[in-house]
Amino acid sequence: MSAPATFQARIARLCVYPVKSCAGVDLDQAVLTDAGLDLDRAWMVVDAHGEAVTQRELPRMALVRPQLRHHEVVLRAPGMLALHLAIDAAETQAEVRLWDEALPAWDMGAVAAQWFTDFLGEPLRLVRFDPEHRRLSDRRWTGGAEALNLFSDGFPLLVASEASLAGLNQRLQAAGHAPVGMERFRPNIVLAGVEAHDEDRVRLLEVGADGPVQLELVKPCPRCPIPNVDPATGVPSPEVGDTLQAYRQDARLQGAVSFGMNAIVRAGDGQLLRVGQAVGGDWAF
């Protein structure tokens, strides 16, 4: 099927994940920064050696649910009292590692460390991204552009579409499995009004905000086992990954499974994105 002359969509959901690999927060509107949506992956859980931990190792992280308030993030989890984190506060400097990359950070202190240790059952600490540090996305995919990100896996934004999820759910249900929610894929921007995986075929998104917003889709998102984790229970099972393996092997990633597109911010730092906004774009081919 040939692509239409112009790409047209709208924003169906905006999501941030304040603590890397914990549950997300749906927002009606979100401030765009050069490093993605404000407060996205601003905090991260690390082990006793300062290595990042995620749902890959500790799937129960999916049960940690943040709530954003004006000056704080409140974390809740089953059986735990709420943990309140001041957005602009931290205690001591630290060095952590994320995907073999050493990063400066700020430790959030003993109370936060004990909270995560108690809930997840092993010695852990919580750290805040150092705002003075410039962590850059892989320039092999950004065309040489300096694209900032915080504790994301590598790029400031992830874009997916409702139609892509619907296509997956059709396959899951045909195989006798329950449908899944978009939460499993942890996107920041969910698009409506497009065909399944149209996000794969778009180069540049332009959002109708209060000023020019341009997001360049630069790399398909290779999927790890995290989409197999049920966000309601924290229990993994293989149906999602197995189903994607059957139809989403991506030649751009040497056959790895992809779902969604990583994006960088070309223009729009400080602009406000809103659910319902129109999105236009340029097809990649």
Topology classification of domain 7-283: M1 Pyruvate Kinase; Domain 3 (2.40.33)
Nearest to 21 by CA among 66, 69, 53, 68: 53
Task: Report pLDDT for 238.
Answer: 97
pLDDT of 1 reads 45
Note the pLDDT of residue 284.
Answer: 82
pLDDT at 2 over 60: no
Mean pLDDT of the chain: 95
- 67's enclosing H/E stretch is strand 65-68
d(CA 82, CA 32): 28
Tell me what the mean pLDDT of segment 190-214 comes to. 90
Task: Give the range among 7-21, 198-212, 236-250, 271-285 with minimum mean pLDDT.
Answer: 198-212
Lowest mean pLDDT across 6-10, 199-203, 230-234: 6-10
Our CA dihedral for 48, 59, 222, 202, rounded to 10 degrees, sits at: -110
Gap between the Cα atoms of 67 and 123, Å rounded? 24
Residue of 132, 222, 241 whose CA lies nearest to 180: 241
